[in-house]
Amino acid sequence: MSRPFLRPRCCVAPFALCLLAAGCGSASETHTAGGDAERGRELLWQFGCGTCHRIEGVVGAVGEVGPPLDGLARRVYIAGVLTNTPENLARWIRMPQDIAPKTAMPDLGVTEEQARDMAAFLYLRR
Amino acid sequence: MSRRGAIRLLVVLTLAGTLAGAAVVYFGVYNVAATEQHTAPVYWLLNAALKRSVAQRAENIDVPPLDGRIENGLVLYREHCLNCHGAPGVPPNAFALGMTPLPANLAHTARTWDVRDIYWVVRYGIKMTGMPAWEFRVPDEQIWDIAAFVAALAHLTPREYEALAARVGTREGPLKPAETQAREDAVTPTPHPAEGDAGRGKKALQQYACVSCHEIPGVVGAIHPVGPPLAGMARRGFIGGVLPNTRANMVRWLRDPKAVDPDTAMPNLGVTERDAHDLAAFLETLR
Amino acid sequence: MKRALPLLSFGLAACSGVQHALDPASEESAFIGGLSWLLYGGATAIFLLVMAIAAYAVFGPESRKRLAHRKLIVGGGILFPVVTLTALMTYAFAGAPNLLLRGEPALHVEVTGEQYWWRVRYLDENGWAQFETANEIVVPANRTVAFHLRSADVIHSFWVPNLHGKLDMIPGHSKTMQVRPTRTGVYRGQCAEYCGTQHAKMAFTVEVVNEKDFERWHAARKATARIPDSPLLQRGRDVFLSAGCGSCHTVRGVNESRALGPDLTHVGSRRTLGAGAIPNSLGALAGWIADSQALKPGNRMPAFRNLQPGDLQAVAAYLASLE
């Protein structure tokens, strides 16, 4: 049994729930894929991710070719084909073509460590 | 104001309020049609009340060991739940798409609800939602099997679900929406205007359960981030990450996403040609 | 004091950089920089002196009355400014020839400002173009370079603060700026005359390298494009031709010369895309092709939104391979 990403109380009705359920602490449970988010931000800029995706917090990331990456941490599926876990996200960033051969997302030659850093930053986009 | 005056005012206000409430009921002001989503405040209130009600009651349930329940849970799920909720890449049965509220996408539920809450809902059901109580129909152990399986949906890709279902070997799945679609296309030779009707498309978002999986600006209840958000869809470069965003491709994708990308979690929802044009016309307004 | 420290370090850090008039990398900018420092230093000294006299006049002891004297008014108010400003003007005029054309340049580069990028042509001794590139200029150190500045549409202004002052590019005119770089490095330039919606994203770089590196670079740039050596890159080249890229862009050795957009013969080796808009990479190339209008709205390249995923990836990979 895997732990749910968020406790329910924090998700749907933020107003009442935050008032009522004090210790529901979930923001700190963010998966960070063991990467360095700050470096991830720099890499997302260097690899040109922002030319296709809107990413809040990355300079010039206003692309509209693919889906926006804000709120990615809450999404259930990555690219519609993988369940959203930090490992899967890093894997997807590294080799999208292997996972979904028809995808428009190119293989950018990202290393394992770089992918983890990028995933760490993207997981902060709630 | 004197004390008596205050009491009188209170009585008058109470009476007026009661009368107004009675008038709303008597004149049928609130539309109960399933094709009309609740207003945003009502939706929010009902949703918040539902979550709190379940959370309060499920909090102290003791969870038995959940290991090894998934396969049995899958069998039960396909028997009892699949018709309304669908599964990764598998659409619900056509009738379920007409329900309001729409049966939830459980992969999202699995990520946002605790397993106790899931168990409680399966066991006791939810009033006025169409979610039945299974307490008197399914033994408690099996309800835990179902809850364990639903919780596992958080990490089950469409492919993995397919493989698991094939391995477990279950009963016949639900009626394929593609069949209903073919039937409907045959019955109503739809004059599909190429421009599409965006207003009708907005209603169709509810009827094809788009709102269960996508965040869509301006649509009440479309708050579940299962797939990508649809804001700015008119300017998006690719549909589903695989098709260039043109009207023809959008219609193709909406009608049969699985045919375009067999890996996608988006199921074939039996969208007719005309409805696909209307949906596409609405999506083109999301700039 | 603690608060002053960051300010101080900021002030010092601000005196060097890839786009800085007080961090000279050429003889011309060294003169401009020296003149600037002279002005800042002199103005500061005069300002402090005047403030000191004013303070003395207001708060000083009884002896301050001596200030109320005709000699101070005439000397400090008329004579001193006349002498100082005349000296400054003489110094500036005497130095001005440093900024003009001196002798025969070793290299002629024609730079044309276009909305919103820089067309760069390296010219031979007869003024004919040897090859064309865009947004990135490479010049040898310690050689005199002549930039022939033109405009294809509206008024732009060519400005690389580390190398020289601004010079406007006027449609219908050709102006020449002469630079003798003294220090290797990459220096950033920027259009300095508002030229339209994407004026802010109209940057370029001038890289100063030693003679040998320059010869190597020059020879490499003169060459035609690399031949694609894998099925993916071959498909990319075919897409380049069939999707219409070749109607505006030239890849020498692949299609006929087209003058609308930047020459892409060696686009893979550029640092940025869209004249400094985004860092160049395979991903950025793909994103730029698919929807350049989202990244730099109003630029002249249409968004290629009808490319199939495989075609888009192939053409992006092909362009990235053109080093």
Whether residue C216 is found in the same domain as residue C114: yes
Instruction: Please calculate the CA angle A107-A112-A116 and round it to the nearest 5 degrees.
Output: 105
CB contact under 8 A, A2 and B148: no
Helix pair angle (A112-122, A37-46), 10° resolution = 110
Based on the domain organization, do C115 and C210 belong to the same domain? Answer: yes
Flag whether C261 is in a domain: yes
Judge if A54 and A114 occupy the same domain. yes
Beta bridge partners of C129: C123
Count A/C contacts: CB-CB distance under 8 Å: 66
Residue B185 confidence (pLDDT)? 56
Claim to verify: residue A81 and residue A37 sit in the same structural domain: yes
Torsional sign, CA A55, A56, A59, A62? positive
Query: Count of domains in chain A?
Result: 2
Helices H / strands E in chain A, number of each: 5, 2
Q: Is C232 on the interface with A (CB under 8 A)?
A: no
Domain count, chain C: 3
Residue A21 sits in the same domain as residue A1: yes
C203-209 vs C136-140, strand pairing mode: parallel
Measured between alpha carbons, how far is C99 from C180 in angstroms, rounded to an integer? Answer: 10
Mode of pairing for the β-strands spanning C272-273 and C175-179: unpaired
C residues 274-303 lying closer than 8 A (beta carbon) to B? 290-291, 294, 303
- What pLDDT does C97 receive? 83
For residue A9, pLDDT beyond 60: no
Tell me the pLDDT tens digit for each residue of C210-267: 999 999 999 999 999 999 999 999 999 999 999 999 999 999 999 888 889 999 999 9
Say yes or no: A100 and A49 in one domain.
yes
Domains of chain B and any CATH numbers: 40-168 (1.10.760.10), 177-283 (1.10.760.10)
Whether the pLDDT of residue C7 is over 50: the answer is: no
Chain A residues in contact with B152 by the CB 8 A cut-off are 1-2
State the alpha helices, DSSP H only, in chain C. Answer: 4-13, 27-59, 70-74, 80-95, 211-222, 231-242, 282-295, 309-321
Q: At what angle do helices B273-283 and B247-255 cross, to 10 degrees?
A: 120
Of B51, B113, B241, the CB nearest to A80: B241
In this structure, are A2 and A53 located in the same domain? no
The answer as to whether C11 is a domain residue is no
Indicate whether A108 pLDDT > 60: yes
| Whether A102 contacts C309, CB under 8 Å | yes
Asked if C286 and C306 sit in the same domain, the reply is: yes
| 3 state SS of A53 | coil
Residue A118 and residue A63 share a domain: yes
| Residue C1 counted as domain residue | no
Task: Closest CB to C291: pick one of B237, B241, B242.
Answer: B237
Instruction: Indicate whether C215 and C141 sit together in one domain.
Output: yes
First-to-last alpha carbon distance for chain B, in angstroms, is 55
What are the phi and psi torsion angles at A54 (to 5°)? -85, 120
CA of A65 to nearest chain C CA: how many angstroms apart? 7
Local confidence band at B194 (pLDDT 50, 70, 90 cut-offs): low
CA separation for the pair C129, C180 (Å, rounded): 21
In the predicted model, what is the mean pLDDT of residues A95-116? 92
Q: Domain range holding A15? A: 1-30
A52 and A68 belong to one structural domain? yes
C-beta atoms of C306 and B238 within 8 A: no
Q: Which residue carries 């210790």 as its tokens?
A: A23
Give me the residue label for tokens 């890849």: C251
For residue A13, the model assigns a pLDDT of: 38
Query: A81 has which bridge partners?
Result: none
Contact C222, C131 (CB under 8 A): yes
CA distance B11 to B9: 5
| Beta strand pairing call for A82-83 and B238-239 | unpaired
Mean pLDDT of the residues in chain B: 89
pLDDT tens digits along C97-142: 878 877 789 999 999 999 999 999 999 988 899 999 999 999 999 9
- Same domain, residue pair C257 and C174: no
Whats the size of chain C, residue-wise?
A: 323
Determine the average pLDDT of the residues in C75-101.
89
Instruction: Pull the structure tokens for residue B70.
Output: 């998934």
Q: Which of C64, C99, C134 is the last residue of a domain?
A: C99
- Say if residue A81 is in the same domain as residue A106: yes
pLDDT band for position C83 (50/70/90)?
Answer: very high
Same domain, C146 and C71: no
Between CA B266 and CA B208 the distance in angstroms is: 12
Query: Which domain, by its residues, includes C207?
Result: 107-222
Q: Does residue A50 sit in the same domain as residue A84?
A: yes
Spatial contact of C280 and C273, defined as CB atoms under 8 Å apart: yes
| Interchain contact A98–C (C-beta under 8 A) | no
Provide the shortest C-alpha distance from residue C296 to chain B (in Å).
Answer: 15
Q: Pinpoint the alpha helices (H) of chain B.
A: 3-26, 40-58, 70-80, 82-85, 106-112, 115-124, 140-152, 158-168, 177-187, 198-207, 247-255, 257-260, 273-283
Residue C14 confidence (pLDDT): 56
Q: Looking at residue C148, which CATH number applies to its domain?
A: 2.60.40.420
- CB neighbour burial string for B193-219, b if at least 16 within 10 angstroms, e if fewer: eeebbbebbbbbbbbbbbbbbbbbeeb
- Tell me, yes or no, whether C7 lies in a domain: no
Q: Between chains, do C308 and B235 touch, taking CB under 8 Å as contact?
A: no
For A56-88, how does the pLDDT look when each residue is reduced to its tens digit (9 = 90+)? Answer: 999 889 999 999 998 899 999 999 899 999 889
Closest CA–CA distance from residue C55 to any residue of chain A (Å): 49
Q: Say yes or no: C308 contacts chain B, CB-CB below 8 A.
A: yes
| pLDDT (0 to 100) of residue B24 | 93
Distance CA C254, CA C241 (A): 8
d(CA A61, CA A57): 8
pLDDT per position as a tens digit, B49-79: 999 999 999 999 999 999 999 999 999 999 9
- pLDDT at site B13: 96
Q: At what angle do helices C27-59 and C80-95 cross, to 10 degrees?
A: 170
Residue C301 lies in a domain: yes
How far is residue C271's CA from residue C281's CA, in Å, rounded to a whole number?
A: 8
For B144, which residue in chain A has the nearest alpha carbon?
A1
State the Cα–Cα distance between residues B70 and B151, nearest whole angstrom: 9
CATH of the domain at A111: 1.10.760.10
C-alpha to C-alpha distance for C151 and C149, rounded to whole angstroms = 7
pLDDT given at position C68: 82
| Helix, strand, coil % over all residues of chain C, rounded to 5 | 45, 20, 35
Phi first, then psi: what are they for C193, rounded to 5°? Answer: -135, 125
From chain A, pick out residues whose CB is under 8 angstroms from the CB of B116: none
The nearest CA of chain A is from the CA of B266 a distance in Å of: 7
CA distance C261 to B73: 61
Q: For residue C73, what are the CA distances in angstroms to C48, C78, C79, C83, C85?
A: 18, 7, 9, 15, 17
- Of C99, C128, C160, the domain-final residue: C99
Query: CA dist C83 to C41, C46, C79, C235, Å?
Result: 17, 13, 6, 73
Residues C275-323: tens digit of each pLDDT: 999 999 999 999 999 999 999 999 999 989 889 999 999 999 999 999 8
Helix (H) or strand (E) holding A46: helix A37-46
pLDDT of residue A32: 57
Do C214 and C145 belong together in one domain? yes
A23 and A50 fall within a common domain? no
B193 — pLDDT class (breaks 50, 70, 90): low
pLDDT for res A12: 37
Query: Chain B interface, mutation test: which of C306, C313, C315, most B Cβ atoms within 10 Å?
Result: C306
C15 phi, psi to nearest 5 deg? -95, 15
B217 touches chain A (CB under 8 A): no
d(CA B232, CA B213): 16
Write the pLDDT tens digit of every residue in B106-116: 999 999 999 99
C286–A106 C-beta distance less than 8 A = yes
Average per-residue pLDDT for chain A? 77
Of the given ranges (B126-130, C13-17, C19-23, C244-248), which has the lowest mean pLDDT?
A: C13-17
Poorest-pLDDT segment among A18-27, C186-195, C201-210 = A18-27
pLDDT surpassing 60 at residue A1: no
**Do A24 and A40 share a domain, yes or no?**
no
Contact C202, C156 (CB under 8 A): yes
Residue C312, pLDDT score: 94
pLDDT above 90: residue B169: no
Answer yes or no: do A42 and A103 share one domain: yes
- Tell me the percentage of chain C whose pLDDT exceeds 70: 95
d(CA B7, CA B1): 10
**B242, C307: Cβ pair inside 8 Å?**
no
